[in-house]
Chains A and B, each alone.
Chain A
Amino acid sequence: MTTATTETDRSAEPLISVDDVTFGYGDIPVLESVSIDVEPGSFLGLVGPNGSGKSTLLDLMLGLRRPDEGTVSLFGEPAHEFDAGERIGYVAQNATKAARNMPITVQEVVEMGRYPRRLFGRFSAADRRAVEGALEEVGITDLASRRVGRLSGGQRQRVFIARALASEADLLALDEPTVGVDAESREEFYSLLHDLNATGLTVILIEHDIGVVTTYATDIACINRQLYFDGNPDEFVETDALAQAYGTDQHVLQHDH
């Protein structure tokens, strides 16, 4: 089903196009000549060892950083000039850390999804409907008035997804979203992502659990400074890209297949 969507959209312009990008922090090279396209409607899993530049690549894709060399386009525009923030939903790696102590309700967080459209002034009926719809879609309507910090890890992740849905985003980017979430909730969380992807939402997921990625993603990119693999999960399992990227002596989280 997801492959069908991907195939019909193949002819369309890629949603994100990373072209021969090189990036470094000062003298430390992080990415070298990486080229990768993200097609509309796909579910891209970004894998690679710690410090491989996955998060940096995601930042570059979203236009949060500018490459030293090469170009990144986002929705057909240069990524750093793109300004329709409501089209991007982003769940940062440590987003939930701040959420733990701050007195803020689920409703207040999900409403942030409307901020790019309405930073000032009153929310319209459409804004409120979008927030209600998003809460319902991820099944947290009954938690709306609860403090985010008092939810379980799995519930908290749904709040961030709902925020992206409230903004009616076309692209959902997640950076290791399930760190500290119990196994059962993770399963549910990823099947939610799968369902959302099936409705046409493009998903980019950074995940250290290769099993999750090969199960749910339609595309896999394996990087460690350079791009080692870019293709579908079935091919990925057959190649030795993973071993190459991680180096032979690395222990790899690889199960479920």
Chain B
Amino acid sequence: MFLTYQRLAGTLLAELPALWFGLTGPIEWFLDTVVGPTMDLLAEVLEAPMLTYPFMQRAYLAAVCIAVIGPLVGTFLVHREMSMLSDTLAHTAFAGVAVGLFLNSALSLSLSPLLTAFVVAIVTALLVELLVEHAGAYTDTSLAMVLTGGFAVGSILITATDGGIAVGIDAYLFGSLATVSTANVGILVLMSLIVGGLVTLTYRPLLYVTFDATAAQAARLNVRLYKRLMVVLTALVVVSAMQIMGVILVAAMLVVPVAAAAKVAGSFKQSISLAILAAEFAAIAGVTLSYVYGIAAGGSIVVAAIAVYAAVLGVQKLAHRLPTLQRLSSLWTRQPRDGLEADGGERE
């Protein structure tokens, strides 16, 4: 049922030529000439035939993209103590999907639910930010209200939409590998380029605003603009990653690898790289486990990411407890600056 819907959505999307031909062409070429042969080679070397299946190739490419943009934006978000925002936006993105499905069935339109999800998530992100500009601070209560409110509207619209559409909702809630289409991967790659480009371009103002917003304002940076940019980037990442990770789990990709990296990183730049590294490990491990054991991909990726976090924490605690190991690890990494790093070193 859902597959039919997907195919339907695919053909409907085809009516948006700018988006569609712009994406599928290059992505198909990329999948055929770059990803395909590389994966085939990997499959031979690793003796893992699953790497030759096109749907697995798409899944890996999508997971690799998510593992780049999730922690990239998440690092700024977590250190502004706004982790909860990613979860809130994911749940309102679900409302966005529902809005798309509802409009399509009620008015016989042919909108892509992903498109409406992007719109709803971005609008919510900006609304939350505007509210904060007025009230002065992010509060748990207001975010919880927006989160549940968004999800509530979504559930109402889904039940108000007749027919079998509700069947496909599972894929949005928990994520899915099998239904990742070439267009989905195309959107993800495009979003990765946009998000990566924007963060690279505005790295300095984003960092200043994250670290010390008042001083940034005194230094005459446009703090409001960059705060808004940050929430819009979050919305873009969350919606792009939603199809694989699922609405309920997607926030983990912006938070868990970042938390792990923050424990050991020596600098902010390094914390971004380490977070991406941790996320890539979790994403590839998760997708592989998901295929091998036939289990949920989003869940596997999140559990793998939490395992990385736990491992980092464990190694840190162990290094703290065992002076010998600590000495070894400080010989091994290049950080024997002085005796003040009693907690087991910054680099692992």
Using A103-B266, A115-B205 as known contacts, say yes or no to A150 and B215 having CB atoms under 8 A apart. no
Residue A3 lies at the interface, judged by CB distance under 8 Å to chain B:
no
In whole Å, how far is B83's beta carbon from the nearest beta carbon of chain A?
A: 13
In chain A, positions 35-82 with a C-beta closer than 8 Å to chain B are: 62, 64, 82
* Contact of A103 with B270 in the complex, beta carbons under 8 Å: yes
Is B201's CB within 8 Å of the partner chain A? yes
Chain A 99-137, CB-CB to B under 8 Å as 1, else 0, gives: 101111101110010011011100000000000000000
A208 within 8 A of B: no
Closest A residue to B267 by beta carbon equals A105
Q: Which residues of A contact B205 (CB under 8 A)?
A: 115, 119
Please give, as numbers and ranges, the residues of chain A lying within 8 Å of B79 by CB-CB distance: 98, 101-102
Q: How far is the CB of A147 from chain B (nearest CB, A)?
A: 6
Q: How far is the CA of A173 from the CA of B343 in the complex (A)?
A: 34
Question: What B residues does A230 contact at CB under 8 A?
Answer: none
| Chain A, 145-186, CB within 8 A of any chain B CB | 145-147, 150, 160, 163, 167, 173
Tell me whether A95 is interfacial, beta carbon within 8 Å. yes
> How far apart are the CA atoms of A91 and B266 in the complex, in Å?
24
Chain B interface bracket (under 10, 10 to 19, 20 to 34, 35 or more): 20 to 34
Q: Quick check: A112 and B214 within 8 Å, CB to CB?
A: no
Q: Is B309 interfacial (CB 8 A cutoff)?
A: no
Q: Does A219 contact B (CB under 8 A)?
A: no
> Which residue of A145, A160, A167, A173 contacts B267 across the interface (Cβ within 8 Å)?
A145
Chain A nearest CB, measured from B224 CB (Å): 12
Whether the Cβ atoms of A85 and B211 lie closer than 8 Å is no
- B292 contacts chain A at the CB level, 8 A cutoff: no
Query: Does B300 sit within 8 A of A, measured CB to CB?
Result: no
Docked complex Cα distance between A90 and B214 (Å):
8
Q: Which residues of B contact A163 (CB under 8 A)?
A: 215
- CB closest residue in chain B, given A107: B267
Using A103-B265, A116-B220, A120-B204 as known contacts, say yes or no to A92 and B340 having CB atoms under 8 A apart.
Answer: no
B124 shortest CB reach to chain A, Å: 26
- A104-B212 contact given A84-B220, A147-B346, CB 8 Å threshold: no
A117 (CB) vs chain B CBs: closest residue: B219
Q: Does B271 contact A (CB under 8 A)?
A: yes
Q: Which residues of A contact B220 (CB under 8 A)?
A: 82-85, 88, 116
- B211, A102: Cβ atoms under 8 Å? yes
A86 at the interface (CB under 8 A from B): yes
How many A-B pairs have beta carbons closer than 8 Å: the answer is: 99
B267 engages A103 (CB within 8 Å): yes
Q: Looking at B217, B218, B268, which has the most chain A CB atoms within 10 Å of its CB? A: B218
Would A88 and B217 be within 8 Å (CB), given that A95-B212, A104-B267, A119-B204 are in contact?
Answer: no
Task: Decide yes or no: A109 and B219 within 8 Å by CB, A103-B271, A150-B340 being known contacts.
Answer: no
Shortest CB–CB separation between residue A190 and chain B, in angstroms? 20
The residues of A that contact B219 with a CB separation of less than 8 Å are 85-86, 88, 90, 112, 115-116, 167
Q: From residue B343, how far is it (CB to closest CB) to chain A in Å? A: 8
- On whether the beta carbons of B221 and A119 are closer than 8 Å, the reply is yes
- Asked whether B266 lies within 8 Å of A95 as measured between CB atoms, the reply is no
When C-beta atoms are compared, the residue in chain A nearest to B271 turns out to be A103
Q: Is B120 positioned at the interface, with any CB of A under 8 Å from its CB?
A: no
- 21 A–B contact pairs at CB < 8 A? A62-B218, A85-B218, A85-B219, A85-B221, A88-B220, A91-B215, A95-B212, A99-B211, A101-B79, A102-B268, A105-B266, A108-B267, A112-B208, A112-B211, A112-B219, A116-B221, A119-B205, A145-B267, A150-B340, A150-B343, A163-B215
B residues near A, CB below 8 A?
79, 201-202, 204-205, 207-208, 210-212, 214-221, 261-262, 265-271, 337, 340-341, 343, 346
Give residues in A with beta carbon < 8 Å to B. 62, 64, 82-86, 88-92, 95, 98-99, 101-105, 107-109, 112, 115-116, 118-120, 145-147, 150, 160, 163, 167, 173
**A-B pairs with the 4 shortest C-beta distances?**
A85-B220, A90-B218, A85-B219, A92-B214
